Structure 1
C-alpha cells in the first residue's frame, strides 16, 4: 500500500512539474506541419488544373517541398545547437508563415514557379520545426514521462494531416471541372480567366494559414519557457562518427529504406486524386479527395494496430509483413484500375503507417548517443525520397498512364521488404 501511495505521489509531482502551456504550444506544431504536408496532395491536383500541367510537372509540388527538407535539415540542427530550441521553433514558424504568404503574389500573377518557391520556404520552416520540436517535447517536463509526452505530441500529426485535406477539399477545390476538349474549345480570354480563378483559389486559405502561423510564432516568442539542460557528458567525440555511419551497411540500408518509404507514401497520396479521376471518369475533385481522408484514417488506425502487434512480434517481422502486403496492393492498383484499385490504395495507407518510425528505430538500434544524433539527421534527410520518387512517378504516368505508374510505389515497398529481411545487428 505504501509503495502504491509513493508511486501516486511521485506521479502527481511529475504532473506538477510539467509546464503545460509551453508544452501545449510545442505540441501544436505537430498539428501544423501535418496539415502543411497533406495540403500538398490537394495542391498537386489543383495546380494541374490551374496550369494545365503534365503529371511530372504537377509532381514538382512535392519535389520543391521535400527538397527544402533535405537541404535545410542539417543547417536547422546547427542553428538549434547555436541558439536553442525555442529560437529554432520561432524561426521555423516565421519561415513557414513567409512561404504561405508567398502564395498571394503567386496566385495574383498565376506563376507556378513562385508557388514552388513558396513551398520550398514552407518546407524549410518545417525542417526547423521537426528538428527542434521532437527533442524539445521530451525536455519539457520530467524525464520519466518523456516518452508519453512525445507519443501525445505525435498523435496530433495525423489530425493535422486530415485537417489539411479537409481545408483543401472545401476551401481550395472549386468543384469546377473542365475536360481537355472543353478547354480547347474556349477562346483564349475565357481559358485564361478559368486558369486564373483556379490559381486564385489558394490565396485566401494560405493567407489565413500564413498570418495564423506568424501569430503563433509571436505567442511562442513572448511565452516564458523553462530552461532545459541536455546532458552530453561522456558522449564520444563527434569526429569520425559520420564517416563510421556512412560505412556501416546496416545503417545505410535503413537510410535507403527510409528514402523509398517516404517516396512511396508521398507518391501514393499525391496522385490518389489523379488516380481516382482518371480510372473512374466523372469523379469530381472534391469527391476524389475523400479517398485521401479515408487513407489518413486508415493510417491512424494502422499505427495503433501496428504498435499492438509489436508487443508480440519483432518490429522487423511486422515491417516485412506490412511491406509484402503493400507490394500486392500497389500491384493490384496498377493492373486492376478503377474502384477496386483506389480501394487498394486506401488500404495501403493502413500498412504504410508503421514504416517510418520502425525503419527509424531499426536504423539507430543499439547505437551510442552521438551515433543516434548523427544517424537521426541522416534519416531525416532521406525524406528527399518524396521529391525524387514523386517526380519519377509523374514522369512514369505521363508515359504509361497513372494506373501503371503505381509500379513505382510497388518497387519502393519491395525495397522496404528487402530491408526488413536483412539480418539485424545484435543489441546487448
Structure 2
C-alpha cells in the first residue's frame, strides 16, 4: 500500500459508513410497504407511493443540493443530510401515532430529500477523491456498503420487536425509529467532525487555468453545454429505473408465477449486483477501463432482459440476476464518465446527475402500467430499450466532449 493510498483509507471509511446509511434509509421502505398495507388497509398501488415519494425529492432537491455544497462544502452538507434524516424519522413516528397515510408520504418525501443531499455530496466526493480512472473502483466499494445495508432495517426491527413482519403494526414503530433517530443524529455529528478533506475536481477552482479540464470548461457558460453530461444524465435516469425494477419486482413476480416461498426470491438481484461490484474492485482500472466495464455490463443486462421475457416463465425469474449483474457497474462507471472535464461546473453537474435519479420513480411506474395491460413477464420488455441506450452511452455517448 502506497503512502497516497493510505491517505485515502480514513476518508473512504467514513464515506463507506455514509453509503451504508443511504442503503439503510432506502431499505426501510421494504418494511413500511407491507406494514402500511396491513395497518391502514391501503391498496398495493397506494403503498408503493411510499417508494415514489423517496425518489421524487431527487428531482426537486438535486439542484439546491448542489448550491448547498457550493456554499458550505461537501462535509457540512453530509452532516446536514443526517439531521434531515432525523427529522424525517420523527415524522414517521408522528405518522404512526396519528395513523395518517399522507403524513407517511410527507415523512418519506423528507427522507428522500435527505438522501438527495447526501447522495449529491458523497457521489462526486468519492469520484474526485483520487485518480479519475479508478473512480469506478472506489464507487464499487461504496456500492457494496450500500447494497448490504438494504435488508438491515427489516432484520433489525424484526429482531428488536421479536415479531415477524406480518405481525408488525405501525404502533410498533416508535421504539425502533427512536433508536434510528439517535443513530442519524450521531452520524450527523460524526460527519461534521470527520477528518474529510474538502476536495475539488480538476479545473473546479476558477483560478486554475492550466489543466485540460479548465480549458474545456472555460469555453462554457452553462452546465447545459456539456453534451456528454446531459446524455449521462439520461443514461443514469434509465439505469436507476431499471435497477429499481430488478430489485423491487422479484417478490411480486414470484407471486404472479405461483412460486412457493416468493419472499425467498428477493436475494436474486442483490447477489448479482454485489458480484458485479466485486469484479469492479478487482478489474478496474488495472484490467478494464470504466467505459469498457459499462459496455460489458450493458451487454450482460441486454442478454438478461431478453432471457427474462423469452424463456419459460417458471425459469425466467432467475435471469433477472443477469440484469442485476449488468446494473452493478453502471452506477460506478456512469458517474466519472459523465463528470469528466466539468471543471468549475462539477458541483452543478453533480446536481443534474442526482436529479436524474428520479428515474427510480418513473420507470417502475411504467413497469406497473405495462404489467396491467400485458403480463408480468412481458412488462420486462421495458428494460431492453433502457439498456440499449446505456450501451450507446458506453460506446459513443461519453466521447462527445472530445469531438
Q: Which TM-score applies when normalising by structure 2?
A: 0.80
* Counterpart-to-counterpart distance in 2, 1:304 and 1:206: 32
User: Which of 267, 275, 279 is 2:253 aligned to?
Assistant: 275
Q: Map 1:257-272 to 2 at 5 A.
A: 257-272=235-250
Q: 1:350 aligns with which of 297, 315, 325?
A: 325
- Residue 208, structure 1, aligned to residue 179, structure 2: yes
Q: Cα gap change, 1:129/1:364 in structure 2, threshold over 3 Å: closer, same or farther?
A: closer
1:74 aligned residue: 63
8 Å CA contact retained: 2:89, 2:177: yes
CA drift at 1:244: 1.4
Question: Which residue, 143, 154, 167 being the options, matches 2:153?
Answer: 167
Q: Is 1:420 aligned to residue 394 of structure 2?
A: yes
Contact 1:263/1:388 (8 A) holds in 2: yes
Task: In structure 2, list runs of 5 or more residues that go unmatched.
Answer: 209-213
Q: What's the offset of the Cα at 1:38?
A: 3.3
Distance 1:204 1:331 in 2: 45
Report what 1:5 is aligned to.
none
Cα pair 1:273 1:291 within 8 Å, conserved: yes
Structure 2 CA distance for aligned equivalents of residues 19 and 213 of structure 1: 23
Determine if contact 1:241/1:370 at 8 Å carries over to the other structure. no
In the other structure, the counterpart of 1:254 is 232
- Counterpart in 2 of 1:242? 223
Q: Contact 1:93/1:214 (CA < 8 Å) preserved in 2?
A: yes
The residue aligned with 1:113 is 102
**Aligned residue in 2 for 1:188:** none
The answer as to whether partners of 1:238 and 1:370 remain within 8 angstroms in 2 is: no
The answer to whether the 8 A contact 2:147-2:270 is kept is: yes
**Secondary structure in 2 matching 1:402:** coil
SS at match of 1:90: helix
Q: How far 1:299 sits from its partner (Å)?
A: 1.0
Aligned length: 387
| Residue 363 (structure 2) pairs with residue 377 (structure 1) | no
Deviation per CA, 1:34-55: give whole Å up to 9, x if none.
Answer: 2222333454455455555555
Indicate conservation of the 8 Å contact 1:59/1:390, yes or no: no
Match of 1:411 among 371, 385, 388: 385
* SS of corresponding position for 2:111: helix
Structure 2 SS opposite 1:420: helix
Residue segments in structure 1 that go unaligned for 5+ positions in a row? 1-7, 178-193
CA separation of 1:61/1:74 partners in 2, compared to 1, >3 Å: closer, same or farther? same
Match of 1:387 in 2: 361
Q: Secondary structure at the match of 2:376?
A: coil
Q: 2:136–2:332: 8 Å Cα contact kept in structure 1?
A: no
Is the alpha carbon distance of 1:352 and 1:338 closer, same or farther for their aligned partners in structure 2, counting shifts above 3 Å? same
Spell out the pairing of 1:20-35 with structure 2 (5 A cutoff): 20=10, 24-35=13-24
CA distance in 2, matches of 1:412, 1:137: 26
TM-align CA RMSD: 3.7
- Displacement of 1:352 in angstroms is 0.9
Residues 1:163 and 1:303: Cα distance change in structure 2 (over 3 Å): closer
Alignment of 1:159-238 (within 5 A): 159-169=145-155, 171=157, 175=164, 198-200=169-171, 202-221=173-192, 223=193, 225=195, 228=198, 230=200, 232=205, 233-234=207-208, 235=214
Cα distance between partner residues in 1 of 2:139 and 2:173:
28
Distance in 2 (CA, whole Å) between partners of 1:210 and 1:201 is 15
Highest CA radius of gyration, 1 or 2?
1
The alpha-carbon deviation at position 56 of structure 1 amounts to 3.8
Secondary structure, in 3 states, of the residue corresponding to 2:151?
helix
Return the TM-score normalized by structure 1.
Answer: 0.76
> Alpha-carbon deviations, 1:281-336, whole Å to 9, x = none?
4425xxx1x43344223212112324627655564454334323323323433455
Between the aligned partners of 2:90 and 2:145, the Cα distance in structure 1 is 23
